[in-house]
């Protein structure tokens, strides 16, 4: 049983921060508008194919991408995560998502129950687009703070050290 269900977070402020603007948009859409997101994901699930995947993946190359409704950008983010190779999030130096399609037989693109549970869990959280270096500006003595570290490359061929245009560290 998690801390939220046990009431351990009752009356306490919780924050979710990330430098990935699309992830934060998705968390906020799940939190505030799950039903619209579910409807779009159902449509994406019905249209799922090789060509559809690459059409959705290419959306960030259009100038109009940032003006798309939040729910559409969130559905894109979830759809790509559920259908790409290994659920990987990676963009190139121009900021364009560039992960190839995975080889899943029947990916779970729209899980209504999980989406609504996540929406309830996020209701009392403040979800902000903030770089990790600024997170401690929000913390006070006695707060629990968790930083999700980057993956350290174990071999020379597994040198993936960034999720966006910024590199976490160099050897």
Each residue of 107-122: pLDDT tens digit? 999 999 999 999 999 9
Give per-residue pLDDT as tens, 75-114: 999 999 999 999 999 999 899 999 999 999 999 999 999 9
Q: Average the pLDDT over 131-141 and give the result.
A: 86
Summary mean pLDDT of the chain: 87
Domain spanning 19-137, CATH architecture: Orthogonal Bundle (1.10)
Per-residue DSSP letters for 75-133? HHHHHHHHHBGGG---B-TTS-B-PPB---SS-----HHHHHHHHHHHTTEEEEE--GG
For residue 15, list its beta bridge partners: 126
Q: How many other CB atoms are there within 10 angstroms of residue 152's CB atom?
A: 9
Residues 6+ apart with CB under 8 A from 31: 119, 122, 123, 125, 127
């Amino acid at each position: 049983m998690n801390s939220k269900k046990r009431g351990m977070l009752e009356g306490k402020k919780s924050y979710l921060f990330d430098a990935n603007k699309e992830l934060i948009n998705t968390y906020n859409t799940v939190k505030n508008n799950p039903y619209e997101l579910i409807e779009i994901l159902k449509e994406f699930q019905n249209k799922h194919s090789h060509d559809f995947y690459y059409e959705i993946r290419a959306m960030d190359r259009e100038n109009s991408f940032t003006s798309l409704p939040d729910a559409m950008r969130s559905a894109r983010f979830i759809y790509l995560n559920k259908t790409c190779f290994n659920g990987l999030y990676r963009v190139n130096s121009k900021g364009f998502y560039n992960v190839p399609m995975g080889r899943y037989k029947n990916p779970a693109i729209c899980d209504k129950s999980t989406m609504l549970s996540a929406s309830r869990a996020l209701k009392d959280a403040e979800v902000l687009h903030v770089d990790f270096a600024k997170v401690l500006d929000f913390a006070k003595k006695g707060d629990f703070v968790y930083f999700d570290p980057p993956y350290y490359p174990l071999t020379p061929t597994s040198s993936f050290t960034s999720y966006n245009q910024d590199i976490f560290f160099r050897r």
